[in-house]
Every structure is written in C-alpha cells, then in structure tokens.
C-alpha cells in the first residue's frame, strides 16, 4: 500500500478509545489514556481528541470529556461493530487523513497492538509499543516512553522519530488513575465514512460467547505469590487459604503449571497493591518488580540470598519457600 500523507499541518493529541464489551462504556484504560493526553496537551497548547468506533453507539462522551477530552468523534457504522482489524484500520486512516493528528495513543490491547504498527507504517510515523510510562517531548515533538526489554531484565527509554503522526501504545497504569472533572465540557461529533463490508479479506464467520475473567488480583488485600523456586506449591496454596489471600504468581509460574494467565503479577499481568504480599520462590526480575511496587508490605522467601526480590522486600527470609510456608502455617495453628 502507498504511504499516506497528512493534508494539513499535524496538530493535537488523539486517543483511540475502546469500549467495554459488556457495559459498552469506555474502558478504564481509555479513560486513563485520555487523562494522560490531557496532561501532555496542557503543556503544548493542544486539544485532546478521542475517536470511538462501533455500531449503535451509546452516549459515551460524558466520561471521556470528564477525563480530559475536548472533542469526541463517534464513528457509528455496522462495519466496525466488532473489533476487527481491517475495517478499523480503514476507518482510522480516513479519520486521520481528514484531521491530521500529531500524536495518536492506543491502549496496549490485542486490537491496539494490531492497529498501531499498521497505521504507523501507512503514515510513515514512529511507534513505541507497550509503554509503562509515556510523555510528549514538546521540543523534539516526539513520544518518549519507557518499556520493559529482554523479558523484563531492565527498562529502556525510547523515542519516536520521523514525520507525524507519531504513535504509542500504553499499558494500564502508564499515566495513573484519571481525575474525572465533572465541570469540564467538550464537543461530540458524528463521523460518516464509506465502509463497505465486501472490501475486507477477513470476515466474521460466527459469534462465540466468551466471559471475561474477573480481575480479583487488582483489589486483593492479601496475596501469596509463587515462582519457579517455590518447591511444594501445595504448601503455598494452603498458606494462601489460611490467611484469606489470593493465590498468584510471577510470569515464570505459568511455565511450571502453577497458575494460569489470569493470575500473573507483573508488567505483563496485574499491577497490585495489597496490604500484604508474600513472594515464595520468586527471584524478582524487573517485570515482577513493576507489578508489586504499590504493595504496602512485601515478604520474600527465596533460597538465593542474592535474589533481586530481597531489594524490594520489607522482610526477607533466605531458605526453602515450602518449608517456610509450612512453618508459617504451624504458627497460625498455634495462635
């Protein structure tokens, strides 16, 4: 496909907002990104514009405006009723060609991960993916983001370059909880586009019912989390049950079959902030450290005294995690 060029001088910060499938409201990440765009726009004298795609769209503008949007564009068309790459790509390309954004922000979701690089390629703009923090450099007119590298061994700071628009995808908690200002006001505008269903090479064959897992970890007050060196994982589960904690793990615990994807703590899972976080056999790489930085008290047990988890722990025990879990259980029974 030929490279697309903006017809006007690029301006403003745009957010592509996804809607919650069940309630048809902007997702928490969409509101957070709108708030983050607002903070950057105030420094640069930009407007914040949000585009929402779907069919038979409800009135979703109010919450987006409260989070920081100046104008909300609603693309209401049957072709974009479902989260499909090709029609969304065509719709967003047409909108951006008409409006000439300078910066475009997506959520680091499955859809955002498909759309952002394709749009960056079409417009020749830069892209930073899966940012844990993000800002706009008003001097170089670029996104500057921080993201995990080499499986979370460290963070790297990268910046976009090239012509506008610049693109980025943001992970949850990239900007922090949005401040919802009920006194703000903005505009809503419907967008009419020519989107023919027959033009897509990929079509919808059937609808599959799928129930999203309940995010229990996010609000858990106590968590017992395991890693590869936990040893007897059943002892850890018994400890979690005894103290009324959720049972979770680092990314490595999936490889061992201890947990599934819904219970991962870290940059690629949930960022948690419990009153008590007990880490059993977790070595503690950067990806996991990011996920527990809001925990009030971290207790780490690991056989290696040099494990990085001890640098983040409020209390550390060098030893066999399974044996320590058993001793804790014994203390609980005796009290």
pLDDT of residue 333: 75
Q: Phi and psi of 327, rounded to 5°?
A: -65, -40
Would you identify the CATH topology of the domain 11-199?
A: Rossmann fold (3.40.50)
pLDDT of residue 324: 92
Tokens of 23: 């309630």
Number of DSSP helices (H) and strands (E) in the chain, helices first: 9, 15
Give CA–CA dist 203/199, Å, rounded.
Answer: 10
DSSP 138: T
Give CA–CA dist 35/69, Å, rounded.
Answer: 8
Q: What's the burial of 27, exposed, middle or buried (CB within 10 Å: 0-12/13-18/19+)?
A: middle
Helix (H, G, I), strand (E, B) or coil at 147: strand
Tally of residues, the chain: 335
- What's the angle, vertex CA 181, arms to CA 176 and CA 182, rounded to 5? 145
Give CA–CA dist 184/260, Å, rounded.
Answer: 42
**Contact criterion met (CB below 8 Å) for 41 and 19:** no
**Contact criterion met (CB below 8 Å) for 226 and 282:** yes
Rg (CA), the chain: 23
CATH 3.40.50.620 residue spans of the chain: 11-199
Give CA–CA dist 126/274, Å, rounded.
Answer: 37
pLDDT tens for each residue of the chain, 335 residues long? 456 767 678 899 999 999 988 888 999 999 999 999 999 999 889 999 999 999 999 889 999 999 999 999 999 988 888 888 889 999 999 999 999 999 999 999 999 999 999 999 999 999 999 999 999 998 889 999 999 877 667 789 999 988 889 999 999 999 999 999 999 999 999 998 887 765 666 666 777 776 655 557 888 999 999 999 998 899 999 999 989 899 999 988 998 899 988 899 988 888 899 999 999 999 998 889 989 999 999 999 999 999 999 999 999 999 999 999 988 888 877 76
Give CA–CA dist 216/103, Å, rounded.
Answer: 34
Tokens of 41: 């726009």
Instruction: Kindly list the distances between the CA atom of residue 176 and the CA atoms of 28, 117, 128, 279, in Å, as whole numbers in the listed order.
Output: 11, 24, 19, 25
pTM, two decimals, is 0.69
- What's the angle, vertex CA 295, arms to CA 292 and CA 299, rounded to 5? 85
Residues 32, 180, 27, 259, Cα dihedral to 10°: 70
CATH 3.40.50.1220 residue spans of the chain: 217-334
DSSP 319: S
- Cβ-based neighbour number of residue 53 at 10 Å: 27
Helix (H, G, I), strand (E, B) or coil at 131: strand
pLDDT of residue 1: 45
The full DSSP string for 240-279 is HHHTT-EEEE-THHHHTTS--GGGBBSTTSB----SEEEE
Q: What's the burial of 238, exposed, middle or buried (CB within 10 Å: 0-12/13-18/19+)?
A: middle
- Please say whether the structural domain 217-334 has been given the CATH code 3.40.50.1220: yes
pLDDT of residue 233: 92
| H runs (alpha helix) in 127-265 | 233-242, 252-255
Give CA–CA dist 3/97, Å, rounded.
Answer: 12
Helix (H) or strand (E) holding 159: strand 154-159
């Amino acid at each position: 496909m030929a490279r697309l060029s903006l017809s006007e001088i690029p301006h403003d910060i745009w957010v592509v907002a996804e809607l919650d499938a069940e309630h048809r409201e902007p997702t928490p990440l969409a509101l957070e990104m709108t708030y983050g765009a607002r903070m950057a726009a105030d420094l640069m004298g930009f407007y914040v514009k949000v585009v929402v795609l779907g069919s038979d769209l409800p009135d979703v503008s109010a919450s987006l405006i409260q989070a920081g949007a100046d104008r909300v564009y609603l693309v209401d068309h049957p072709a974009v009723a479902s989260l499909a790459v090709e029609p969304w790509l065509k719709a967003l390309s047409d909108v951006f060609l008409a409006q000439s954004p300078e910066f475009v922000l997506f959520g680091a979701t499955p859809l955002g991960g498909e759309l952002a690089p394709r749009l960056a390629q079409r417009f020749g703009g830069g892209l930073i993916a899966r940012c844990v923090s993000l800002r706009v450099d008003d001097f170089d007119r670029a996104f500057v983001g921080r993201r995990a590298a080499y499986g979370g061994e460290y963070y790297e700071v990268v910046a976009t370059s090239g012509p506008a628009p610049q693109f980025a995808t943001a992970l949850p908690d990239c900007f922090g909880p949005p401040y919802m200002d009920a006194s703000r006001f903005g505009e809503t505008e419907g967008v009419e586009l020519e989107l023919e269903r027959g033009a897509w090479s990929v079509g919808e064959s059937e609808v599959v019912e799928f129930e999203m897992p309940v995010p229990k970890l996010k609000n858990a007050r106590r968590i017992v989390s395991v890693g590869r060196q936990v040893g007897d994982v059943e002892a850890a589960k018994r400890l979690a049950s005894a103290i009324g904690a959720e049972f979770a793990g680092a990314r490595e615990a999936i490889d061992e079959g201890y947990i599934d994807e819904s219970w991962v703590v870290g940059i690629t899972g949930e960022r948690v902030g419990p009153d008590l976080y007990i880490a059993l056999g977790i070595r503690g790489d950067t990806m996991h450290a990011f996920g527990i930085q809001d925990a009030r008290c971290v207790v780490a047990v690991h056989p290696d005294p040099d494990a990085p988890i001890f640098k983040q722990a409020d209390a550390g025990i060098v030893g066999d995690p399974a044996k320590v879990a058993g001793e804790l259980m014994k203390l609980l029974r005796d009290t």
